[in-house]
Amino acid sequence: MYDAMAYLWMIPVFPIVAGFITFIIGPKVLRSQAHLPCIIAGFISFILSLMVLNDVVKAIQTSDKANPSSVAVSYFEWFRTGDPNLVGENFKKAGALKAEFSLRLDPLSSAMIVMVTFLGTLIAVFSTGYMRDHHGHIDPGYPRFFASVSLFLGSMLILVLADNVLLLYAGWEGVGLCSYLLIGFWFEKPSACKAARKAFLVTRLGDVALFLGFASLWVSSGYRLDFDGLLKLDNYDSGVGLACFLMFLGACGKSAQFPLHVWLPDAMEGPSPVSALIHAATMVTAGVYLLARFMPLFASVPEVQMVVIAVGTFTSLLAALIALTQTDLKRILAYSTMSQLGYMFMALGAGIDPKSALPMLAVSAAIFHLLTHAFFKALLFLSAGSVMHSMHDVIDLRRIGGLRKVLPLTHIGFLCGALALAGLPPFAGFWSKDEILSVIHETSKASNYPWFYILMWAIGIFVAFLTAFYTFRAYFLTFWGVLKLPEECHGEVHESPKSMTLPLMLLSLFALGIGFGLSNFTPFSIETFLGKIPGYLIQDHHSHDWLTVGFATFAGLAGLILAFVFYGSGNVTISEQAIGKSNFAVELSKNKFFFDEIYNKLLIAPLNLIFYCARIFDQYILDGIVDLIAHIPRIFAQLFRPIQNGLVQFYALAMILAVTVFLIALARSM
Amino acid sequence: MLDLKIYLILGAILFCIGLIGFVSRRNMITMFLSAELMLQGVAINFLAFSRFRGNLQGQSFVLFILSVAACEAAIALALIVILYRAKNSLDVSKWQDLREEDLEPNEDPEILLLDTFQIEPMPTLPVAGHRPAKEEDASHV
Amino acid sequence: MNEQPWITLTNLSLLLGWLAVYFCLPKRISGSSRLVGYGVGSVALIITAIQIFFTYSFNPELVLFCLFSFFAVVGACLMIVAQNPAHGAICFALTITSTGGIFLLLAAPFVMAANIIVYAGAIIVTFLFLLMLVKQHNADLADSESREPFLASFTGFILLGCMISVLNASFSSQSQLGARNEIERIVDDTNKALSLTDLSELKAKVINGDNNVVTRLKIALGGSGTWVERIEVDVQKNGTLMINKSDDIAEIKSALASLASIGNDYLKYRSLLRPSIAMPGNSGADPSLPLDKIRKDQSGRPAMPADNTTFLGKLLFSDQLIAVELAGLLLLVATIGAIVIVRQLPTKVSS
């Protein structure tokens, strides 16, 4: 465990260095090989992560004082404010701040880094195929893409490895920046620019709240920045609730939860691997990671936890309803991501009592779902990307269909992902989703408001049904039925290159196996693994909530069958009816519940009014004053301008007059 | 016995007269002569210092002034010739291009009545190598 | 300076000179103003001559100086007021030859010769040729009108007045030269006395009777003027009481030291026209010598070498060789430049 700390720092540093190298020499030197630094660095980081994971597993198995399962090491002092000679109380009172570049290794972060590096590398490999056209010519921004991806990986790794909130925040902003760069990758498209700006600004709202949350944590914990100090409840007098609420708002921004969810669907403007990497597997899970990291604090404020679970449930329901009627494949996946993130927040919100094992169960359920979701959602996005690549960037469900035969590998990949997402046994989603619902069920027994949690549970089951329905709607519409090709293809379709299908196959295996592999039925149970994070109570017996399992499986199956009946059976009338019918509910869903419009009317319009007033103020009052100041010399200058009459003799005369004046001054002073 | 001061004052007088001429006269040739007059004043200053110090540094300096004045004369005369070619006049006021863009050029009203001044015509050079056939030909170069 | 009255003969002649130049400058409507200008100018010259003859003792040098400077100034004035540039050039030649006389008075025969050759011989003639070349058939507006005659002449004479008053204030005239030498001696004596150790000897040297430095310093400063008064106040404050009344040798010495520094200040600030560093010595006198150690002629001024040209040549081709070479190069460049400038001149011969 301690040995691992010697090379832990390399894990984030490799991708960052690779990113800068690609930025600098990529466009001129590497050109079409610009993916090499990114992939090599990602792969090295992945190997290192596996070694780290191995060490952590060993430490958990031995679990003694000499080999703790959670270690933090400070590599160097990052910055320091205030007088360094002040120590102890004075140091804190002076508001002095000392931030170190310190990394923490524990089961949570080790699980995250393995997932991030693995998916990152895989997606980078996939991108080498995706970012070329059908003749193998690279995209003009090829080096920029891989540099950004590399930097993104580094930032994400810093985020999950950081041992103090400032470093975490640095990583948080780093992924925000890289996300902006990647969403706006095709900046020639106005819609991409707009989406990038929207994502950046909306998440920025959350970031502000997050920073305020960190600040209030810092103050109320007695000026601590490291997690050891922050997670000890004894350190706090009050203010935990406020800090937790603010942090939750920050997590909402990054993880696209209501009300800051509006950026995620638009973020699909970026290349599909970006959607897979950022908006499914890694960045959006940062919020989940944050809440999981601070679970001991959140568990102590059940009021905030109720907000968390309510928001999570609402988001998952909302996203699932919207996804029902969307016709853009990537957009459906984006909404399903939102919905699944809502699931994770539901799980996190279920950890209420710090004295019980519930927080541990909640964290392990959320992280379990995070991991499985990362794999199958990456798979789904990459499959969608593969479809998009083959269909010449057309993924409108109304214009494609019956691709089962022409894209067999992609079809298998998408099917595995869809089954996992729908939560059907034995695919990954089944295990993690059931875990979440079981935790909520558990919580309802422990809480003072059982009906509230029962309601959440019921909605969760309903969302599981909806999830299965919209997933398979997309699946059937894309791969079943009559072969329908957009005219951009000119009738030619071929399967994507190996660099794209190989990652798909690999991910399919994971989507198939990872759920069971990490479940309680195996020795690698995520629950026992995460339970070893210091500070959690461990539940020894594993009770299996068969009721929940049954309901959820049934819901999933029902959704699948319904989707088959509507879209897969080839019965055109039913699907026509389902899609074509226009009533209020369908309109609501199609238009994403008019959130963009509501925000426009309620938030952006008043803001625009303020901006307009400010502009008027600036233009006419401030600029007026400045212009006035500029005009005064101009008026004087107008008086003297006739002196510049072009007669050089006149200039000489003026010069001599000036010399005379100086001479008079000199003579008087003698 | 004369002292240094009176020589310096003489130099200053010549310098200032040259200055007045340079600033007020409009004929380029007269202006140039005025500039040379200023140099004369400076030369007297140098020589007086040299005399009353008892060394020759000032005199050597005046020699350098002379050589610079000779260069200046050569260049200035060439310039005057081409300026004259451009405007067909020695009037320095014809050149006002340095004025502010939107200012009107400073034009002199042409009310000059030659009769009232009765200025003798300038001497002119006959065409070289030819005997002027008529009296008017003498005015052509 | 503040005490000097503004209405002096110098200022009066300056005023008259200004009026004369103003009236004489060509103007559009001149009428008989030129005659008025001649008259006023004559008055100014007469006043100046009277002033000079009253200030300096009569001797041949003075007569020659007045003669040459009269022609120089009159020639200069006539040059700048001449309506015909050819006449102006002739007047300029007059000025050049007159300043040649002044140069001779200043013991610079070689420069005089060079000056007359270059100016009167070369430049003036070239100008006259140029005048004919550009063939102004009749008087140009440029010649019969001046630009800002009033302002220009006013400025010129104000500048002249300033220069004269600055010269009056800062230049060591004969009496000031004496004062300077006396103060140099006093500072010397004081410095010598500072090295003495015996009180009575010291008193005999710098305090008793006529040797009292304070009194000597006051006498040497003499005159009037704010600067002198300021120094006198300092002298009073720093020296008198202590030197007169004290028997403590250390106290006396510190007072003497402050007096010496006052004297040094005076020498530093009142000797603006004196070279402070030694200059190369290929001239008549060794420049490192102090002014009073230089060999003097019978009029009291430093002697100049009889072989002016020889010494000048030695100086130019030894100490100032590089400058001479550069001047030659400059002449060459100017020649080429002049040719280049007029090269495009079309040969316009009309018949």
Between C202 and A47, the higher pLDDT residue? A47
- Alpha-carbon distance of A543 to A341, in angstroms, equals 25
Is the pLDDT reported for residue A229 higher than 60?
yes
C162 with A647: Cβ contact below 8 A: no
> Is the separation of the CB atoms in C142 and B92 below 8 Å?
yes
Query: What are the CA-CA distances from residue A596 to residues A335, A606, B50 (Å)?
Result: 14, 15, 93
Query: What are the CA-CA distances from residue B110 to residues A589, B96, B99, C142 (Å)?
Result: 89, 17, 21, 12
pLDDT tens readout for residues C64-78: 999 999 999 999 999
Encoding tokens for residue C337? 């430049």
> Considering only alpha carbons, which residue of chain B is nearest residue A656?
B19
Listed as own residue / partner, the contacts of B40-43 with beta carbons closer than 8 Å and 24 or more positions apart are B40/B14, B40/C72, B40/C95, B40/C96, B40/C99, B40/C119, B41/B10, B41/B11, B41/B12, B41/B13, B41/B14, B41/B15, B41/B16, B42/B11, B42/B15, B43/B11, B43/C99, B43/C103, B43/C111, B43/C115
> Is the separation of the CB atoms in A116 and A282 below 8 Å?
yes
Residues 287-316 (C) with a CB less than 8 A from some CB of A = none
Classify residue A396 as left (phi > 0), alpha (psi -120 to 50) or beta.
beta
> Considering only alpha carbons, which residue of chain A is nearest residue C168?
A667
Is the pLDDT reported for residue B121 higher than 70?
no
pLDDT tens readout for residues A305-336: 888 888 999 998 888 888 887 878 888 888 88
SS (H, E, C) chain C: CCCCCCCCHHHHHHHHHHHHHHHHCCCCCCCCHHHHHHHHHHHHHHHHHHHHHHHCCCCHHHHHHHHHHHHHHHHHHHHHHCCCHHHHHHHHHHHHHHHHHHHHHCCCHHHHHHHHHHHHHHHHHHHHHHHHHHCCCCCCHHHHCCCCHHHHHHHHHHHHHHHHHHHHHHCCCHHHHHHHHHHHHHHHHHHHHHCCCCHHHHHHHHCCHHHCHHHHHHHHHCCCCHHHHHHHHHHHHHHHHHHHHCCCHHHHHHHHHHHHHHHHHHHHHHCCCCCCCCCCCCCCCCCCCCHHHCCECCCCCECCCCCHHHHHHHHHHHCCHHHHHHHHHHHHHHHHHHHHHHHCCCCCCCC
> Considering only alpha carbons, which residue of chain C is nearest residue A649?
C147
Is the pLDDT reported for residue C215 higher than 80?
no
Position A542 confidence tier, pLDDT thresholds 50, 70, 90? low
B90 with C294: Cβ contact below 8 A: no
User: In the 8-state DSSP scheme, what is residue A268?
Assistant: G
Share above pLDDT 90 across residues of chain C, in percent, rounded to a whole number: 24
Q: End-to-end CA distance of chain C: give it in Å, rounded.
A: 67
- Model pLDDT, residue A569: 67
User: Is some CB atom of chain C closer than 8 A to the CB atom of B66?
Assistant: yes
Range in A442-446, B8-12, C23-27, C80-84 the model is least confident about: A442-446
Cβ-Cβ contacts under 8 Å, C156 against chain A: 656
User: CA of C297, closest CA in chain B: separation in Å?
Assistant: 10
Mean local confidence (pLDDT), B47-63: 85
Is the pLDDT reported for residue C302 higher than 70?
no
Query: What are the CA-CA distances from residue A219 to residues A92, A94, A213, A226 (Å)?
Result: 9, 12, 10, 13
Mean local confidence (pLDDT), C174-193: 73
pLDDT tens readout for residues C337-350: 998 888 765 555 54
| 3 state DSSP class of A72 | strand
Is the pLDDT reported for residue C228 higher than 70?
no
C159 with A656: Cβ contact below 8 A: yes
pLDDT tens readout for residues B87-102: 888 888 888 888 877 7
pTM of the model: 0.59
pLDDT tens readout for residues A353-373: 777 778 888 888 888 888 888
Range in A131-135, B90-94, C59-63, C99-103 the model is least confident about: A131-135
State the DSSP H helix or E strand holding residue A640, giving kind and residue range, or none if neither: helix A623-640
- Please identify which residue in the block is written with the tokens 């005997």: B131
Encoding tokens for residue C43? 């008055």
- Tell which residue, A59, A78, A44, A41, has the closest CA to residue A163: A78
Cβ-Cβ contacts under 8 Å, B62 against chain C: 108, 111, 115
Between C260 and B75, the higher pLDDT residue? B75
Average of per-residue pLDDT values in chain C: 77
Is the pLDDT reported for residue B4 higher than 70?
yes
- Please identify which residue in the block is written with the tokens 């699948």: A560
Domain parsing of chain B, residue ranges:
4-92
Share above pLDDT 70 across residues of chain A, in percent, rounded to a whole number: 90
List the alpha helices (DSSP H) in A480-545.
498-518, 526-531
CATH number of the B4-92 domain: 1.10.287.3510
Nearest-by-Cβ selection for B119 from C83, C135, C320: C83
C162 with A667: Cβ contact below 8 A: yes
Encoding tokens for residue C45? 């010259």
Q: With DSSP H G I counted as helix, E B as strand and the rest as coil, what are the percentages for chain B, rounded to 5? A: 65, 0, 35
A647 with B23: Cβ contact below 8 A: no
Range in A80-89, A290-299, A388-397, C28-37 the model is least confident about: A80-89
C-alpha A389: how far from chain center: 24
Is the pLDDT reported for residue A27 higher than 90?
no
Is the pLDDT reported for residue A249 higher than 50?
yes
Is the pLDDT reported for residue C331 higher than 80?
yes
Average of per-residue pLDDT values in chain A: 82
Mean local confidence (pLDDT), B7-36: 92
User: CA of A667, closest CA in chain C: separation in Å?
Assistant: 5
A663 with C156: Cβ contact below 8 A: no
> Considering only alpha carbons, which residue of chain B is nearest residue C338?
B75
CA angle C290, C294, C296 (to 5 degrees): 145
Mean local confidence (pLDDT), A538-565: 76
| 3 state DSSP class of A164 | strand
- Tell which residue, A346, A574, A316, has the closest CA to residue A467: A316
Q: With DSSP H G I counted as helix, E B as strand and the rest as coil, what are the percentages for chain A, rounded to 5? A: 75, 5, 20
Instruction: Work out the number of other CB atoms within 10 angstroms of the CB of residue C141.
Output: 18
- Model pLDDT, residue C163: 87
pLDDT tens readout for residues A158-203: 999 888 888 899 999 998 998 898 888 888 888 888 888 888 888 8
- Alpha-carbon distance of A436 to A443, in angstroms, equals 11
- Model pLDDT, residue A88: 59
User: CA of A657, closest CA in chain C: separation in Å?
Assistant: 6
Encoding tokens for residue A626? 């400045």
> What ipTM was assigned to the predicted interfaces of this complex?
0.80
Encoding tokens for residue C249? 């040798």
Q: Which chains touch A (3 or more CB pairs under 8 A)?
A: B, C
C147 with A649: Cβ contact below 8 A: yes
C147 with B53: Cβ contact below 8 A: no
Between A298 and A530, the higher pLDDT residue? A298
- Model pLDDT, residue C280: 43
Nearest-by-Cβ selection for A670 from C1, C148, C155: C1
- Model pLDDT, residue C330: 94
Domain parsing of chain C, residue ranges:
9-170, 174-270, 295-343
- Tell which residue, A153, A117, A154, A132, has the closest CA to residue A33: A132
Is the pLDDT reported for residue C279 higher than 50?
no
Is the pLDDT reported for residue C314 higher than 80?
yes
Mean local confidence (pLDDT), A276-287: 82
- Model pLDDT, residue C73: 94
pLDDT tens readout for residues A39-49: 899 999 999 99
Between A339 and A396, the higher pLDDT residue? A339
DSSP character string of A401-425: B-TTTTSHHHHHHHHHHHHHHHT-T
- Alpha-carbon distance of B39 to B18, in angstroms, equals 9
Share above pLDDT 90 across residues of chain A, in percent, rounded to a whole number: 6
Encoding tokens for residue B29? 């040739």
Q: What does the CA dihedral A572, A413, A467, A378 come to, rounded to 10 degrees?
A: -140
Position C323 confidence tier, pLDDT thresholds 50, 70, 90? very high
Mean local confidence (pLDDT), A536-548: 67
- Model pLDDT, residue B140: 47
Q: Which CATH number fits domain C9-170: 1.10.287, 1.20.120, 2.60.40, 1.10.3470?
A: 1.20.120
Classify residue B95 as left (phi > 0), alpha (psi -120 to 50) or beta.
beta
CA angle C211, C217, C220 (to 5 degrees): 110
Residue B48, C-beta contacts closer than 8 angstroms, at least 6 positions apart: B4, B7, B8, B11, B58, C106
C210 exposure class (CB count in 10 Å sphere: 0-12, 13-18, 19+): exposed
User: In the 8-state DSSP scheme, what is residue B111?
Assistant: -
> Considering only alpha carbons, which residue of chain C is nearest residue A656?
C155
Cβ-Cβ contacts under 8 Å, B47 against chain C: 102-103, 106, 108, 111
C-alpha C206: how far from chain center: 37
Is the pLDDT reported for residue C200 higher than 60?
yes
